Amino acid sequence: MRRRQFIKGSALAAGSFLAMPAILRAQTAVEFSFFFPVAVGGPITKLIDKFAQDFEAENAGIKVKPIYAGTYQETIVKALTAHKAGTPPATSVLLSTDMFTMIDEGAVVAIDEFVKTDDDKKWLASFFPAFMLNSQTGGKTWGIPFQRSTVVLYWNKELFKEAGLDPEKAPSNWNEQVEFAQKLTKRDASGNVTQWGLQVPSSGFPYWLFQGFSTQAGAILANQEGNKTNYDAPEVIEALQYWVDLSQKHKVHPTGVVEWGTTPRAFFDRKCAMMWTTTGNLTNVRNNAKFPFGVAMLPAGKRRGSPTGGGNFYISSKVPREQQEAAFKFARWITSSERAAQWCVDTGYVAVRPDSFDTPVLKSYTDGFPQALVARDQLPHAVAELSTYDNQRVTKALNDGLQAALTGTKQPAQALKDAQTEADRLLKPYQRG
């Protein structure tokens, strides 16, 4: 009707009309950028680019510009720098543990502001509860789970068989982990290790891998309010002593700092028979391991346990409302059950919603590759990844302590006491009342 009314005038009016749709589109189009961390192997950028293209095709008038910002650590630095400069992306995928830092900087808005309809509420309630532990605080939701993970154990079935172990059975507890690793460690005639029984990385994310040990020992490293840590609790010391003993006492694990990035390669090259690493490496292992391998929950100490990990979508507080709304729409779109399922298949990350595992694509995938179900099945035993205010420095205090103990510079108890002293100093301003 509007068009018919418009063209009743002169030829000039008709000519003006021809230009009008483009003008209107320019006025109503919303373009937003988002930072995405590329920290795990695989064609991640191609997958994200395809998601952006598909979203644009389904949502006329919205343009999405992915910006690949490096590691998680590099991405939060860039996000906060852009925030302080007044030019942040509308949304960023950052570590779930960055929640308190982003809140403290005033860099994010609560997701609840955009949850208006019954469908919105149903969507927000659709995620695994374990993943919401690092997404909510103070009665509000600040992050949307996207590429999430846990730590799992991978093992080489061929090497198990050679060592006289059941290739279909992973160690179920700490004692078995040591026993299996002793049988799997090989040395040459000179006594040099040619194959380690177990490898647990201690660079990059040492606190995260350590949370496997500390959770299994019955410890929780930080409170839910993010303003107190328990680094020097007896159970935490017990956990670190166990990790140190793997190399210094049992001699089944490399000494010193084990590199995060090279651990999968050591596994592929049969230089270690078992490794702890992220489920986000599952597709990488499937594509590169030239031998049958297994995936299992982490061995139990006093209990089973692993931290959750990975990234959430956050929405910037310093972009126009229309960009915030578009970013929310994109985050909701990309975390639908079907797309979360496809992301799991393509990357190895855990699908963030239970209903994703009922989709045809994920059912078909897990029927042929049941290893992909291990991380989901471990979630009832999972705890929140270590996260506090001033998270980068509080976490660094623990990382420094862990590496000091693993390299033999300090005894575990002293290393953790020093880490706690530093954490107390950093968190004192956030302890009210």
Q: Which CATH class is domain 2-148+309-369?
A: alpha beta
Is 66 in contact with 47 (CB distance < 8 Å)? no
- The yes-or-no verdict on residue 389 having pLDDT over 70 is yes
Give the torsion through C-alpha atoms of 75, 79, 82, 86, to 10 deg. Answer: 170
**One-letter amino acid of 96:** S
What is the spatial distance between Cα 400 and Cα 403, in angstroms, rounded to a whole number?
A: 5
Give the torsion through C-alpha atoms of 409, 412, 417, 419, to 10 deg. Answer: 60
- The yes-or-no verdict on residue 390 having pLDDT over 70 is yes
Which phi and psi angles does 16 have, rounded to 5°?
-65, -35
- Which tokens is 239 given? 């956990």
Share of the chain above pLDDT 70, in %: 92
Q: How many CB atoms lie within 10 A of CB 287?
A: 11
- As annotated, the residues of the chain forming the CATH 3.40.190.10 domain(s) are 2-148+309-369, 150-308+383-430
Q: What is the pLDDT of residues 181-237, one digit of tens each?
A: 999 999 999 999 999 999 999 998 899 999 999 999 999 999 989 999 999 999 999
Architecture category of domain 150-308+383-430 in CATH: 3-Layer(aba) Sandwich (3.40)
Structure confidence at residue 344 as a pLDDT band (50, 70, 90): very high
CA distances, 252 to each of 60, 130, 245, 403 (Å):
57, 32, 9, 18
Is 380 in contact with 128 (CB distance < 8 Å)? no
**Mean pLDDT (the chain, rounded):** 92
Least confident range of 13-17, 304-308, 401-405 = 13-17
For residue 95, give the 3-state DSSP assignment. Answer: strand
- Which tokens is 416 given? 């953790």
What is the spatial distance between Cα 284 and Cα 377, in angstroms, rounded to a whole number?
A: 20
Q: What is the pLDDT of residues 147-171, one digit of tens each?
A: 999 999 999 999 999 999 999 999 9
CA angle 405, 407, 408 (to 5 degrees): 65
Q: What is the pLDDT of residues 95-125, one digit of tens each?
A: 999 999 999 999 999 999 999 999 999 999 9
Is 143 in contact with 312 (CB distance < 8 Å)? yes
For residue 149, give the 3-state DSSP assignment. Answer: strand
Burial of 19 (0-12, 13-18, 19+ CB in 10 A): exposed
> In sequence order, what E strands does 14-54 have?
30-36
pTM: 0.86
Is 63 in contact with 25 (CB distance < 8 Å)? no
Q: Residue length, the chain?
A: 433
Comparing CA positions, the residue from 81, 110, 59 lying closest to residue 312 is: 110
- Which tokens is 217 given? 């020992």
* CA 414 to chain centroid: 30
DSSP 33-99: EEEE---SSSSHHHHHHHHHHHHHHHSTTEEEEEEE--SHHHHHHHHHHHHHHT---SEEEEEGGGH
Least confident range of 42-46, 313-317, 410-414, 427-431 = 42-46
Q: How many CB atoms lie within 10 A of CB 84?
A: 12
